[in-house]
Amino acid sequence: MKGKKAEPLPEVEMPDAGELPEGWRYATILDACEVNPPKPSKDFLPADAPVTFVPMPAVDADIGAITNPQIKPYLEVRNGFTFFRDGDVIMAKITPCMENGKAAIIHGMKNGIGFGSTEFHVMRSRGEILPEFLYYYIRQESFRNEAESHFTGSVGQKRVPADFIKQSVIPLPPLAEQRRIVARIEALLSHINATRDRLSRVPLIMKKFRQGVLAAACSGRLTEEWRDDNPNVESGIQLIERIAGRDSHSIVPYDDDPPLPLPEIPDTWEWSRCFPLCDPKRDITYGVIKLGASIKGGIPTLRSSDVRWLYIDNNDVKTIDPSIASQYSRTFLKGGEIVITVRGTLGGIAVVPQSMAGYNISREVAVLPIRSDLDAKYFCYAIASIWSQNWLSEVTKGVAYTGFNIRDLKRLPLPLPPLAEQHEIIRRVGLLFERADAFDQEVVAAGLRCEQLTQAVLGKAFRGELVRKMESSNEIK
């Protein structure tokens, strides 16, 4: 059975070539490249010959390179996957990968060829365009925006059609000038990318900074001078005796044998188990065992994916049938409790805002109803600190689906400062975190400026301004 004959492409109207530098011309990408060229024959290589396989996640959109490709037998991937070879340019055609700029020049393929996701378009130079020149052209935000405006398909499965690629018009200078332009682009972008690389390290630095703040806060170092100025406040041992009575299970005995040795704390502090710090009328427990489908008008129910480190992400909270939620009335939230992830993705902990009163929680999340005469935010910081997280890691069980049980959570030792010092710790941590948040925003703004500068460089390059200006002046460094 013969395949359907391809429809001829409509004639493309070229822009006015007078706008281009002398010696340049306009061409469609199809004029300059084969688009989605055919695969080699089955006997091009032995069936078991190794070739490179490139799934979509292997294309790094930031650096435009293939990272962590796979090696597979030729015949295993020849059918059903996209073919390319060294020197080709690939570009993601599906949302959101296309908008994110997933594109790369193919280099270093095993046996010179590769196969990959069916969601790639492939462009192969016919000889009049350098792969690097084409790659930088399609990395322009203006090109991606135009491609997005030509999407076809349904929501979540929208794609750039091949005809858009074929009919796209590109300014084409002589090869020698293309080489000069590419060299200048790469020289300028190397400086921008070095800045991006430094900026990419900042989130880890800030994460360590915030953990350092909590470590200082929950060891007493952050408020050392405050204690010198406030010697007569109620001590931690007096506080625990007042709120929980002299219960031998309330205070951690030093001959206990915890998973980790207890670090030193100030003399006015005391170690306490987690459970006596909670409302005696409410349980430390997890919530709904099986959520079911999200329904309109249902009860919002927090999952582990909603509980992040020190905040709750309210953007995609699932809602469940009220009749299901009512079976777990013990875990309806009132606001002010601590929620902590105990299954699956661990490390999430936050204080529930009053705006989430009436929410429920899933079995992946536990609720710690901290007593109203204590400060839940301080204990949230204490549990989020690296020592407590390491303690919980020591009691975590499971391999594929990890977690810790409620019994261990109740046993978690927490440093208990005087109540007035708890408030001072929260104030100081808040100020330091505000500064960290402001710095994070500056880093984001710097990243945006890097992208704007990248696009400015590319815009000048394809208007024929970049190399000419460099020849006549030192305007761009």
Q: What is the 3-state secondary structure (H, E, C) of 56-112?
A: HHHEECCCCEECCCEEEEHHHHHCCCEEEECCCEEEECECCCCCCCCEEECCCCHHH
Distance from chain centroid for Cα 66: 19
Q: Mind listing the pLDDT tens digit for each residue in 172-203?
A: 999 999 999 999 999 999 999 999 999 999 99
d(CA 179, CA 295): 58
CB of 54 closer than 8 Å to CB of 118: no
The pLDDT of residue 250: 63
In CATH terms, the fold of domain 20-172 is Adenine-n6-DNA-methyltransferase TaqI; Chain A, domain 2 (3.90.220)
d(CA 104, CA 92): 9
pLDDT at 5 over 90: no
pLDDT at 111 over 50: yes
The pLDDT of residue 3: 46
Q: Mind listing the pLDDT tens digit for each residue in 326-335?
A: 999 999 999 9
In CATH terms, the fold of domain 234-417 is Adenine-n6-DNA-methyltransferase TaqI; Chain A, domain 2 (3.90.220)
Q: Give the range among 34-48, 92-106, 242-256 with minimum mean pLDDT.
A: 242-256
Between 165 and 295, whose confidence is greater? Answer: 165
pLDDT at 247 over 80: no
The whole-number average pLDDT for the span 80-95 is 96
d(CA 40, CA 35): 15
Determine how β-strand 318-320 pairs with β-strand 299-302. Answer: antiparallel
pLDDT band of residue 66 (cuts 50, 70, 90) is very high
Q: In the chain, which residues fall in CATH 3.90.220.20?
A: 20-172, 234-417
pLDDT band of residue 389 (cuts 50, 70, 90) is very high
pLDDT band of residue 472 (cuts 50, 70, 90) is very low
pLDDT band of residue 344 (cuts 50, 70, 90) is confident
pLDDT band of residue 59 (cuts 50, 70, 90) is very high
Positions of E strands within 304-431: 318-320, 338-341, 349-351, 360-361, 365-368, 414-416
pLDDT band of residue 246 (cuts 50, 70, 90) is low
pLDDT at 436 over 50: yes
The pLDDT of residue 252: 63
pLDDT at 477 over 60: no
pLDDT at 475 over 60: no
The whole-number average pLDDT for the span 42-70 is 93
pLDDT band of residue 470 (cuts 50, 70, 90) is very low
pLDDT at 2 over 50: no
The mean pLDDT of the chain is 90
The whole-number average pLDDT for the span 291-298 is 85
| Residues composing the chain | 477
Q: Which two tokens stand for residue 272?
A: 């306490």
Calculate what percentage of the chain has a pLDDT beyond 70. Answer: 92
User: H/E/C letters for each residue in 193-226?
Assistant: HHHHHHHHCHHHHHHHHHHHHHHHHCCCCCCHHH
CB of 111 closer than 8 Å to CB of 50: yes
d(CA 392, CA 219): 18
**Which stretches of 106-150 are DSSP H helices?**
131-138, 141-149
Rg (CA), the chain: 30
Q: Give the range among 23-32, 62-71, 372-381 with minimum mean pLDDT.
A: 62-71
The whole-number average pLDDT for the span 74-90 is 96
